[in-house]
Structure 1
Amino acid sequence: MDRIIRFFKRDDVDLYLTLALLIIIIYLMRGFATVVLLTTIFAYLGIKLSRWLNLRTHLPYWIAVIVVYVGVIALFIGALSYAAPTLVDQLKVIPDMLAKAITNHPVLNKNIDKWVNQAIHSSELIQNGKALLVTGIKGLSEVGAGFTHVLMAIFLSFIFAVSRGRMMVFGRQFLQSKFKKFFTNVYYLTHKFVMILGRIIETQLVICTINTILMTIGFMIIGMPSIMVLSIIVFILGLVPVAGVLISMIPLTLLGFASGGLIRVVWIIVLVILIHAFESYFLHPRLMADRTDLPVFVTFITLIIMESLLGAWGLIIGIPIVSFFLDILGVQNSEPRRVTSSKKATSR
């Protein structure tokens, strides 16, 4: 019995039990995972930019936070408001192009009315149309929920960044409570994961920037119009892992068709495939490996497995999770372990 008690009093066992409890809590709160992760990411980037601005300009920290958030939001709104009208103007020519193609094609021009009547009276097509409509409505609801999550995360991260000093003082009170050993472990685990996640997010921004530059060069080579607008679209959608590439294909192929027909659409698809392959098979594993000290092969396998388990989020938090567990298990140590006292933990 004494041996069992001594075993559970060991610092490493106590740390692992805390980790297991946190995993259970996270699983039970998985419905809030998106908001929590987005808030963590936005707060990390916002605090880092605000501290950099504070050191460079000597502005008070809280003013620097406001400047950073207002500046970034204004930049995104300005980019979207600049790109949207140009995108609409480019897409206006598509109906005329389709009508002209139908008129000039003898087979299409002769049979279009018959095909339309058959489609209207086809029960199978009507059923498929209803299913497609329901799917579209669900998709729109998911997009709306995602937009709400983003707005909530921006608001919560702003509040946290502004009140960071007060939050730090409030958090240290837990390290002096009756359960200070438990909260010291919680602080150590969460701090380590957030730092690893932050480094990965910084790398994702670098990857997105490189992809945008390469895509812009490709647009110039194939002669696409409105290159600045296309670059803005690619960069903004590139921040969304995996799905961003698929979503960006819609405006890119439409603009390609409007400006150069099917030939340019083919060039757009080839360009996206090449850039995405370069990112997936070289850039992403290489840069992620450099940030986490993981071999490229392990990084690549991690991305595949985590994407299948967690979807798009797996590409963002998959490598931080693996790197975090390797660090906790002592396989790789990015920083020394200090969980023996609250004083040491707070000095971190």
Structure 2
Amino acid sequence: MTPIYNWLKREDSQLYLTLGLIIVVLFCFRHFLSIILLITIFSFLALKATARVRKWLPIGQVLATLVVYIVVIGAVVAAISYAAPTLANQFAGFPKMVTKAINDHPVWDKQIDVWVNKALNSSELMKHGQTALVTGLHGLESLGTAVSHVGIAIFLSLIFTASYGRMKRLGSAFLHSRFKHFFTNVYYLVRKFVLILGTVIDTQLIICTINTVLMTIGLTLLGMPSILVLAVIVFILGLIPVAGVLISMVPLTLIAFAAGGIWKVVEVVILVIVIHFFESYFLHPRLMATATDLPIFVTFMTLIISEQLLGTWGLIVGLPIVAFFLDLVGVHPRPNDGPIMQQLRDDDFR
């Protein structure tokens, strides 16, 4: 028993046991992990923004938080309000474009009639159609759940950021309680992971901005209408890893078809594929490797495996998890520890 007792008394053993307990707790609350991650990300970005606002303006934390959230939410609402009417006008003329294309090409009209008759007489196709309808309804339900999670996360992050001073004092009280060693380990682990995650989120914003600029230039060269509207759509949807590209293809291709027909759609699809290829296989791994101090090969493998294991969230938290565990066991790819460890030594949001 003495060796086990001595092992439990070691600081690193207590740290690893604390990490194991945190993992068990997170597994028990796995259905709420999406909300927890969203709250963490929004709170981290809001705290950085409010810290900058308070450097420029002599105001308190509550007022700075309100300023940040009003500006950000107002910008999003203004962007949607600006883009929605233009998109509605573009989509309103889409049925006429389809009808005109069919009338101008009688062969298409006959072929469509053949397809419709086959569809009506095919029980297998009708069965697949029912399956697709059910899948679409589940997709709409998932979309509604995601929107509600984002709304809850925004509200709770607003409350957390506004009351950050009190939350910090409450956390400090835990660090001086009867179980201060345990809560010190919890604070150390949580803070380390949040800062690594924040670094990755900052990098994702940079990637999204570069991707938007490249897409805007490409769409301008292709002669697409409503460039500012398309730029807003690309930037907002670009914040969603992988799925954002697929979702953005819907309005881009529809507007392209309304503006120039099928060949314009082909041009836009080629542009999206080229830029997405550049982002996925060069820009994203390169910037993420720089941010997390990981080699590009490790970054590639991490993104592939984490996306398979965790889905879309794996593209966001996969690299922070790997960087967190490597740093926890003392593996530093660079002699000077890199930007993450330098940031861990600073007292952020002082």
Band of TM-score, shorter chain: over 0.9
State how far apart, in whole Å, the 2-side matches of 1:20 and 1:295 are. 27
Deviation of 1:111 after TM superposition, in Å, equals 5.6
Deviation of 1:216 after TM superposition, in Å, equals 0.3
Deviation of 1:120 after TM superposition, in Å, equals 3.1
- Count of residues paired in the alignment: 342
Give the match for residue 209 of structure 1: 209
Residue 335 of structure 1 pairs with residue 341 of structure 2: yes
State how far apart, in whole Å, the 2-side matches of 1:321 and 1:222 are. 40
Alignment of 1:296-315 (within 5 A): 296-315=296-315
Residue identity matched to 1:132: A
Deviation of 1:297 after TM superposition, in Å, equals 1.4
Give the match for residue 289 of structure 2: 289
Residue identity matched to 2:284: H
For residues 241-295 of structure 1, give each alpha carbon's deviation from its aligned partner in whole angstroms, at most 9, with x where no partner exists.
1100111011111111111111111111111111111111111111111111111
Give the match for residue 200 of structure 1: 200
| Contact kept in structure 1, 2:242 and 2:312, CA below 8 Å | yes
Give the match for residue 103 of structure 2: 103
Aligned to 1:335, the other structure's residue is in SS state helix
Deviation of 1:90 after TM superposition, in Å, equals 1.0
Residue 224 of structure 1 pairs with residue 224 of structure 2: yes
| Contact kept in structure 1, 2:48 and 2:349, CA below 8 Å | no
For residues 153-187 of structure 1, give each alpha carbon's deviation from its aligned partner in whole angstroms, at most 9, with x where no partner exists.
00000000000000011111111112111110000
State how far apart, in whole Å, the 1-side matches of 2:131 and 2:7 are. 58
Give the TM-score normalised by the residue count of structure 1: 0.94
Q: Percent identity?
A: 56
| Contact kept in structure 2, 1:241 and 1:315, CA below 8 Å | yes
Give the match for residue 320 of structure 1: 320
Residue identity matched to 1:142: S
State how far apart, in whole Å, the 2-side matches of 1:78 and 1:346 are. 32
Give the TM-score normalised by the residue count of structure 2: 0.93
| Contact kept in structure 2, 1:193 and 1:320, CA below 8 Å | yes
| Contact kept in structure 2, 1:41 and 1:198, CA below 8 Å | yes
| Contact kept in structure 1, 2:90 and 2:258, CA below 8 Å | yes
Give the match for residue 4 of structure 1: 4
State how far apart, in whole Å, the 1-side matches of 2:267 and 2:103 are. 26
State how far apart, in whole Å, the 2-side matches of 1:297 and 1:116 are. 49
Give the match for residue 64 of structure 1: 64
Kindly report the root-mean-square deviation, in angstroms, between the aligned alpha carbons of the 2 structures. 2.0
State how far apart, in whole Å, the 2-side matches of 1:160 and 1:347 are. 13
| Contact kept in structure 2, 1:299 and 1:319, CA below 8 Å | yes
- Structure 1 stretch 91-100 or stretch 307-316: which is displaced more? 91-100
| Contact kept in structure 2, 1:174 and 1:180, CA below 8 Å | yes
State how far apart, in whole Å, the 1-side matches of 2:63 and 2:287 are. 33
Task: Say if 1:319 and 1:111 are closer, same or farther in 2 by CA, change over 3 A.
Answer: closer
Task: Say if 1:249 and 1:110 are closer, same or farther in 2 by CA, change over 3 A.
Answer: closer
Give the match for residue 41 of structure 2: 41
Residue identity matched to 1:231: A
Residue identity matched to 2:219: F
Deviation of 1:197 after TM superposition, in Å, equals 0.5
Alignment of 1:262-273 (within 5 A): 262-273=262-273
Deviation of 1:326 after TM superposition, in Å, equals 0.6
State how far apart, in whole Å, the 2-side matches of 1:327 and 1:290 are. 15
Give the match for residue 22 of structure 1: 22
Task: Say if 1:304 and 1:56 are closer, same or farther in 2 by CA, change over 3 A.
Answer: same
State how far apart, in whole Å, the 2-side matches of 1:82 and 1:239 are. 19
Give the match for residue 341 of structure 1: none
For residues 111-169 of structure 1, give each alpha carbon's deviation from its aligned partner in whole angstroms, at most 9, with x where no partner exists.
65564344334333322222111111100000000000000000000000000000011
Give the match for residue 134 of structure 1: 134
Show structure 1 runs of 5+ residues with no match: 339-344
| Contact kept in structure 1, 2:93 and 2:258, CA below 8 Å | yes
Deviation of 1:219 after TM superposition, in Å, equals 0.4
Show structure 2 runs of 5+ residues with no match: none
| Contact kept in structure 1, 2:47 and 2:349, CA below 8 Å | no
For residues 48-82 of structure 1, give each alpha carbon's deviation from its aligned partner in whole angstroms, at most 9, with x where no partner exists.
10110011112222101001001100100110111
| Contact kept in structure 2, 1:172 and 1:346, CA below 8 Å | no
Alignment of 1:89-168 (within 5 A): 89-110=89-110, 112-113=112-113, 115-168=115-168
Deviation of 1:320 after TM superposition, in Å, equals 0.6
| Contact kept in structure 1, 2:234 and 2:248, CA below 8 Å | yes
| Contact kept in structure 2, 1:303 and 1:319, CA below 8 Å | yes
Deviation of 1:347 after TM superposition, in Å, equals 12
Deviation of 1:24 after TM superposition, in Å, equals 1.0
State how far apart, in whole Å, the 2-side matches of 1:149 and 1:346 are. 27
| Contact kept in structure 2, 1:302 and 1:319, CA below 8 Å | yes
Deviation of 1:106 after TM superposition, in Å, equals 2.4
Residue identity matched to 1:306: S
For residues 74-114 of structure 1, give each alpha carbon's deviation from its aligned partner in whole angstroms, at most 9, with x where no partner exists.
10011011101101111222211211122222223346556
Give the match for residue 342 of structure 1: none
State how far apart, in whole Å, the 2-side matches of 1:7 and 1:119 are. 70
Deviation of 1:21 after TM superposition, in Å, equals 0.8
